[in-house]
Amino acid sequence: MVDAFHREGLAEEPSTFSLYVRHLPPGRGYLVAAGLADALTWLEELHFDAADLAALERVGGFGDEFLRWLSCVRFTGDVRAVPEGTIVFEHEPILEVDAPIGQAQLAETFLLNQVTLQTTLATKASRFRHAAGDASVVDFALRRTHGIDAGMKLARCCRIVGLGGTSNVAASDRYGFPASGTMAHSFVQAHDDETDAFRTFAQYMTDRAVLVVDTYDTATGVGHAIEVARELAAHGTAIRGIRLDSGDLAALARDARARLDAAGLGNVLIFASGGLDEHAIEELRAAGAPIDGYGVGSSLGTSADAPVLDSVYKLVEFAGRPVVKTSTGKATWPGPKQVWRDARWSGDVLALRDEPAPGARWRPLLEEVMRAGIRTDAGRRDLAAVAAHFDAGWESLPEPIKHLTDPAPYPTLPSTRLVELAEELGGTS
Amino acid sequence: MVDAFHREGLAEEPSTFSLYVRHLPPGRGYLVAAGLADALTWLEELHFDAADLAALERVGGFGDEFLRWLSCVRFTGDVRAVPEGTIVFEHEPILEVDAPIGQAQLAETFLLNQVTLQTTLATKASRFRHAAGDASVVDFALRRTHGIDAGMKLARCCRIVGLGGTSNVAASDRYGFPASGTMAHSFVQAHDDETDAFRTFAQYMTDRAVLVVDTYDTATGVGHAIEVARELAAHGTAIRGIRLDSGDLAALARDARARLDAAGLGNVLIFASGGLDEHAIEELRAAGAPIDGYGVGSSLGTSADAPVLDSVYKLVEFAGRPVVKTSTGKATWPGPKQVWRDARWSGDVLALRDEPAPGARWRPLLEEVMRAGIRTDAGRRDLAAVAAHFDAGWESLPEPIKHLTDPAPYPTLPSTRLVELAEELGGTS
């Protein structure tokens, strides 16, 4: 299609594309925008090298003129976006690209892929933070994420929303996020005796040792862990904790806590894992289970209850004219936009980009992050700044919107001018 | 944990790990094993370079001796696996690793990640093949897969199970899979007039042009496509088809087919897209909707109804001794295994590796694909061979097992010797 734009002489015409989510997934009251940093890096690095062009020739069907154009193409446009970590809602642009349409179309798939993935995962991760309260949640999901790219980005998203760490050592290093792990069942199985396995592991790992106690029988395993922890205590050292990975976690945690405390091991923590989603964690917390931290995998790593986000990248302006799409159930709002929010979360306003603020207390969400292909300062925020930005929004976000199963709806209303323009163009959303 | 094995002097002890799925996801009667080629490549290339070791030092907590050991580690073990594209069931090993435990543990996360991802996606893609019958199904999912790695592997899995092509040009080249695409709504929106957009696109793309007809109003769009197709027909050329992307697809397809046929355009194909899953496609087919091909995205690309596979990588033998795990609800069968299947799909037998065939008509599924770190011939099958292997199994697989919502259960029974060994070790599965 870009070839067709090119042959027609339209590839250099200015366009604006808006990337947003049409509908929140079931059970979601908000989204956490993420993926911008990777989007900007991709745009900065956009080029087709000799190997790429050779691949396109092998696939076939592209014109020679077009391949020559591709060999020189760079991203020269502007990007406006909400900062990563911003809470967003339906129809609110996460980013907008102002660029010659040939460039903007080339970027569509990558931008959608990464913003969709990272927004999906950051949103899911924030639900675990909400569910766990003061307990820590650690990303154990790399083995179950949809590929290695997703596994790395998941850890990044967990860092943004303030989870406790990751078992993904590469991501720990890349994203400055605590590495955290425990022993696996195979370590216990590789020893003739569970107590020997615990003793050996604790000796090497000392205060980082978390002993998995359910390889054979959890109650017995807790006893073996206590035996080893008491031996260490006699020498002035300690284990970090035990991990429950199967069975009735609330009951097992209560029993383990009582036995640990009775043995003078009040500082030994209790971790839980094993197919936990945010609802299971919320229930354990509501039941007062004495669990200090959770290791979570599949549900977090695949956003299992809502793996799909209804994200789109839609043309809203072309050659200076606002445009719409009026397809059944999939209509779009015309024109470049701004989103306005007030500090009291009284409802967002979806406005045309050049409209004034709706009032004194309102601030705009979208800011310029790339100008003429170069990142602005706002496009260079590091992960610590992104995490701080998420925190500020999260702390102020009303609790009912965070509800895990039946969140309060939050209104985003189109401005009068946006409604008028849409009607003028024959489209309503 | 590998550091602990190393310090204890156990890292070089022989072990066998078995990678399998404990439970089929809801609505799944079978799985299509995939991911082996990437697993073997990873094992062949396993090493830690200076940058990796520096990263581990930054993360901290690893012993110097261990880092020296890592700097020299290579995979020297054996791998036995079912060929990619094999139909497998619960508890049947997809692959087994025989290697010093230090090496085998290093491989756990990558092997699980890729075999889980690709088996999930190949299985999902096979359901679309089943649903669509003679209609072609094209992968449109790269924008919605969980990252770029997943997007590439999805196209590979679609190729294995015989779907029609992919809109992912890079994957088309890498995996020798037809590239296929249509115009997007933005092309129509960028023109003042839908007919002009169609005319321009068809002129450049000629017999590859698929015109998306629902940007404004589908019935009108079909009329515009017919107008352009008749103009081309007058000059001896043609468009390939039209694409319906919203609304009542069965009714719209019938209407479009009738109007196209009446206009003498019986060769113009009708494609459908727009949030379709395998159930929607099965319904359209059952309703006799005249749709020649489907473009599918989110549901396929994320395996949306079953994004998680309960896959595990479990130690089954250590230092020559079979081992088990008896955790509540998560027990394992001991020992290295073989799976036997007869040509009539009368039920598989999960046996110990060295057991004889259960009978004359039975063949073993697991074969040696890597020996002492080097791929065997069986470990070098190309994608065409994998696709042919899938086809052979798929054609013979009884229809009730392929059912999309209520598949017939297929029994995998443990051999008498396996049951006896598990009982001897105190574990039952």
In chain A, what are the domains? 2-122+312-424 (3.20.140.10), 124-302 (3.20.20.70)
Q: Is the CB of residue A273 less than 8 Å away from at least one CB of chain B?
A: no
pLDDT of residue B427: 62
How far is the C-alpha of B387 from the C-alpha of B381, rounded, in Å?
A: 10
- Lateral strand order in the sheet of B14-21: B321-322, B311-318, B14-21, B95-100, B78-81, B367-371, B374-375
- Enumerate helices (H) and strands (E) in chain A, giving the number of each: 16, 19
Q: B67 exposed, middle or buried (CB, 10 Å; 0-12, 13-18, 19+)?
A: middle
d(CA A235, CA A39): 53
B244 within 8 A of B271, measured Cβ to Cβ: yes
Residues whose CB falls within 8 Å of the CB of residue A185, separated by 6 or more in sequence, listed in order: A212, A214, A215, A245, B314, B315, B325, B327
Q: Angle, nearest 10°, between helix axes B101-132 and B36-45?
A: 160
Report ipTM (2 d.p.): 0.96
Q: How far apart are CA B35 and CA A256, in angstroms?
A: 40
Residue B68 phi/psi, 5-degree rounding, is: -65, -40
**Quick one: chain B helix, strand, coil %, rounded to 5?**
45, 20, 40
B405-420 confidence digits (pLDDT tens): 999 999 999 999 999 9
pLDDT value of position B113: 98
Cβ–Cβ of A3/B204 closer than 8 Å? yes
Give the residue ranges of DSSP H helices in A87-207: 101-132, 148-160, 169-175, 185-189, 194-205
What integer pLDDT is reported at residue A424 of this predicted model?
A: 94
Give the per-residue pLDDT at B334: 96
DSSP code for B179 = B
How far is residue A214's CA from residue A187's CA, in Å, rounded to a whole number? 12
Secondary structure (3-state) at B216: coil
Q: What average pLDDT does the segment B76-105 reach?
A: 98
The three-state secondary structure class of A98 is: strand
Residue A183 pairs in a beta bridge with none
Give, as one character, the DSSP assignment of residue B420. H
Q: What is the mean pLDDT of each run of 10 residues along chain A (429 residues)?
A: 93 98 96 98 98 94 94 98 98 98 97 98 98 97 97 98 96 95 90 95 89 95 97 92 96 98 97 96 98 97 97 96 85 94 96 95 97 98 98 97 97 96 79
pLDDT value at residue A329: 79
Whether residue B38 contacts residue B124, with contact meaning beta carbons closer than 8 Å, is answered with no
| Cross-strand pairs, A138 | A165, A295
Residue A53 CB neighbours (<10 A) = 15
Contact B145 A217 (CB under 8 A): no
- Token pair belonging to A405: 């199963």
Q: What is the mean pLDDT of residues B158-167?
A: 97
Distance CA B98, CA B76 (A): 9
DSSP state of A162: T
Residue B181 confidence (pLDDT)? 81
Q: Write down the pLDDT at residue B429.
A: 43
Shortest alpha-carbon distance between residue A264 and chain B (Å): 27
Contact across the interface for A143 and B5, Cβ inside 8 Å:
no
Rounded to the nearest 10°, the torsion over CA A183, A185, A191, A197 is 30
Neighbours of A192 (CB within 10 A): 11
Tens-digit pLDDT profile for residues B373-382: 999 999 999 9
User: Do B165 and B179 contact (CB within 8 A), yes or no?
Assistant: yes
CA gap B101, A186 in Å, rounded: 9
Q: B338: closest CA among B369, B368, B366?
A: B366
Residue A429 pLDDT: 43
A290 in Cβ contact with A257 (< 8 Å) = yes
Quick one: average pLDDT of B140-161? 98
pLDDT digits (tens, 9 = 90+) for B303-318: 999 999 999 999 999 9
Count H helices and E strands in chain B, helices first.
16, 19
Give the Å distances, CA to CA, from A118 to A79, A113, A340, B271.
18, 9, 23, 31
Q: Which of A129, A136, A126 is nearest to A291 (CA)?
A: A136
* Residue A224 exposure: Cα atoms within 13 Å on the Cβ side: 24
Q: Give the count of Cβ contacts less than 8 A between chain A and B.
A: 253
CA–CA separation, A360 vs A364, rounded Å? Answer: 11
As a residue count, chain A comes to: 429
Among B residues 197-236, those touching chain A with beta carbons less than 8 Å apart: 200-201, 204-205, 208, 214-218
- Selection from B256, B259, B248 nearest residue B284 by Cα: B248
CB contact under 8 Å between B426 and A216, yes or no, is yes
d(CA B49, CA A333): 51
B145 and A143 within 8 Å at the Cβ level: the answer is no
Instruction: Assess whether pLDDT exceeds 90 at residue B327.
Output: no
Q: Which residue type is seen at A289?
A: A
Closest CA to B283 of B132, B114, B97, B113: B132
Question: Positive or negative, the Cα torsion across B313, B319, B323, B325?
Answer: negative
Q: What pLDDT was estimated at residue B415? A: 97
The per-residue pLDDT of chain B, averaged, comes to: 96
CA–CA separation, A192 and B261 (whole Å): 76
> What are the chain B neighbours of A56 within 8 Å (beta carbons)?
169, 173
Query: Looking at the complex, does the CB of residue B22 fall below 8 Å from at least one CB of chain A?
Result: no
Q: Residues 283 to 312 of B: which have CB under 8 A from any A CB?
A: 298-299, 302-304, 307-311
Q: Is the pLDDT of residue B60 over 80?
A: yes
CB of A209 within 8 A of CB of B320?
no
B328 neighbourhood in chain A, CB within 8 Å: 214, 218, 246-247
Report the percentage of chain B scoring pLDDT > 70. Answer: 99
Which pLDDT value is given to residue B292?
98
CA dist., res. B112 & res. B117, Å (int): 8
Residue A296, strand partner residues: A139
For residue B61, the chain A residues in CB contact (below 8 A) are 179, 208
Question: A393-409: buried (b, 16+ CB within 10 Å) or exposed (e) per residue?
Answer: bbeebeeebbebeebee
Backbone angles phi, psi at A179, to 5 degrees: -80, 135
